[in-house]
Amino acid sequence: MKGKITIRDVADMARVSNQTVSRVINNRPDVAEETRQRVWQVIEALNYRPNALARSLIQQRSLTLGVITAGLQFLGPSQTLNGIIRQAEAMGYSLLLKELPHFHSNHSRPLLNTLLARQVEGIIWAVPEIGDNRYPIDDQLHQVSVPIIYLTMRKLPGVSTVAVDNYLGGRMAAQHLIDQGYRHIAHISGPLDWWEARQRQWGWFDTLREAGLSVSEKYSVPGDWSTASGAQAMTHLIGRYPDMDAVFVANDQMALGAMHAAHRRGYRIPDDLGVVGFDGMPEAAYFAPPLTTVSQDLRELGSTAVRQLSHAIGFDRPDDLVFEPGYISLRPELYIRESSVPNSS
């Protein structure tokens, strides 16, 4: 460790007091031009960098946001983080990042405490709602003195949440398959302790039922989001549901596995079997065949969360405005490709 240069060193060398240096680095107007110049020269000569910790301490403002994420090795969480960090930098916030050891972890307390100890001005809880992994947070929510924005979970009163409308996405997928003439539409879901997985499943279920098509929970087989599990689920479905002529798969990766397994069993896609995925990963346009998918804009999800959080923090908000917690729902979009458009139709 080299001895750090402090504001005192600059002040001494420029023969002014430290608060004149402070005025210079904060671009205050009330400094003689000649003094300003001299101070800047010393700052550059010494390569002085003001200590942001000291500044935060006195200003009671850290300009830092905390993010708690999970499963960063997967596409979704990292897309979301990408959106968060972009928007945060654009708004002048730094990001303190924490990751849960795994999706189901309910050891979020120490992570939350670390963030709060470091005086973050707000927190984004970017962990999908799975089972009761959110309870520890709800539990201590009333003890947390900074605003929290939740991502991707169900509506709760008094809580700010941003989420993609997964139920609508499920409906869009199912409706599209119906429109294309498919009548026996199965589902490969995500793990059913995931809120997102259940929403997509319900969208599929409700749409089929409302259309008067035969539908049953038996026609829905869960995977674990992985390509391998999609292949396995498809094999189960083939055994269980011989009439099946289409399948809505809850993410693109499982859809890839499902198409792979169906192909090996002699199904031609889309003629024997229509397939729709979920997520809109760019590679899906190059699967064999190109995959129809319900696209969700997770980067938009992330940046929306940061904007909401900034409002909730309120430094940029007029004093007479009050932040109202609310639920923001993002609309997914259907990308239609070969996998769901039979040649005969």
Partner DNA sequence: CTGAAAGCGCTTACAG
- In whole angstroms, the minimum distance from the beta carbon of 57 to DNA comes to 4
Stretch that binds a copy of itself, among 13-21, 70-78, 195-203, 241-249 (CB under 8 A): 70-78
Residues 6+ apart with CB under 8 A from 148: 122, 123, 124, 125, 137, 141, 159, 160
Residue in 8, 28, 107, 118 binding a copy of itself, rule: CB under 8 A: 118
Stretch that binds a copy of itself, among 33-41, 88-96, 192-200, 206-214 (CB under 8 A): 88-96
Instruction: Kindly state the smallest distance separating residue 193's Cβ from DNA, in Å.
Output: 38
Binding range to a copy of itself, per CB under 8 A, among 130-138, 165-173, 196-204, 250-258:
250-258
Which run of H or of E encompasses 95?
strand 94-100
From residue 26 to residue 65, the character string flagging contacts with a copy of itself as x (rule: CB under 8 A) and all else as - is ---------------------x-xxxxxx-xx--x-x---
C-alpha closest to that of 202 among 176, 175, 168, 225: 168
Q: How many CB atoms lie within 10 A of CB 45?
A: 12
In angstroms and rounded to an integer, the radius of gyration of the C-alpha atoms of the chain is 26
Q: Considering only residues 1, 212, 319, 344, which one is a binding residue for a copy of itself as defined by CB under 8 A?
A: 1
**Is residue 4 close enough to count as binding a copy of itself by CB under 8 A?**
yes
Which residues are CB-contacts of 304 (< 8 A; sequence separation ≥ 6)?
83, 162, 328, 330
Q: Does 95 bind DNA (CB under 7 A)?
A: no
Cβ-based neighbours of 120, under 8 Å, separated by 6 or more: 62, 64, 65, 66, 96, 146
Pick from 299, 326, 327, 315: nearest CA to 87: 299
User: Which option in DNA, a copy of itself, none does residue 236 bind, with CB closer than 5 to 8 A by kind?
Assistant: none
Tell which positions 41-80 bind DNA, by CB under 7 A. 48-51, 54-55, 57-60
- Binding partner of residue 183 among a copy of itself, DNA, none, CB under 5 to 8 Å per kind? none
Among 13, 20, 177, 233, binds DNA (CB under 7 A): 20
In 3D, which of 140, 159, 121, 123 has the Cα closest to residue 314?
121
